[in-house]
Amino acid sequence: MSLQVFALGRVSTVSGGEAQQELIDIELFKKVDLRVGVVKHAEKVAGSKKLLRLLIDVGTEVRQIIAGLAEWYKPEELVGKKVVVVVNLKPKKLMGFESQGMLLATCDQGKPLLVTIEGDAKPGSKIC
């Protein structure tokens, strides 16, 4: 199993005890705003085998996030899940939709496993 961290255009992989990484300063890491989000709606993106369109409550608003999860998750499996969202990424257009954030996931043999939150954390709670 490996853990991939996707942030600020860089990918670091830790696998089998060997780390291949570019170190960043703590001040740069502090700029990444991670929040609890609750998936309110999920659907496949027409014309794509890989993409799902998710509506996620991040506390102050509902964000649309386009995620490459359709090969591994059914839309109905995601509704109600508490996920970790990067909320301060610049929006990006994917298949005609604006994606307004990114979800955190690990990758186990190429399969993404969403990082989820248990307990009473409210939408918009800051990950600290």
Please report whether residue 108 resides in a domain: yes
Residue 52 tokens, joined: 């799902």
Please report whether residue 69 resides in a domain: yes
Give the side-chain half-sphere CA count within 13 A for 86. 20
CATH of the domain at 63: 2.40.50.140
- Look up the pTM and report it: 0.82
Q: What are phi and psi of 26, to 5 degrees?
A: -60, -35
Above 70 in pLDDT, residue 10? no
Please report whether residue 77 resides in a domain: yes
Q: Mean of the per-residue pLDDT values for the chain? A: 89
Please report whether residue 60 resides in a domain: yes
Report the pLDDT value the prediction gives residue 19, as an integer from 0 to 100: 60
Above 70 in pLDDT, residue 6? no
Please report whether residue 56 resides in a domain: yes
For the chain, the domain total comes to 1
Kindly state the percentage of the chain with pLDDT values over 90.
79
Domain that holds residue 47: 34-114
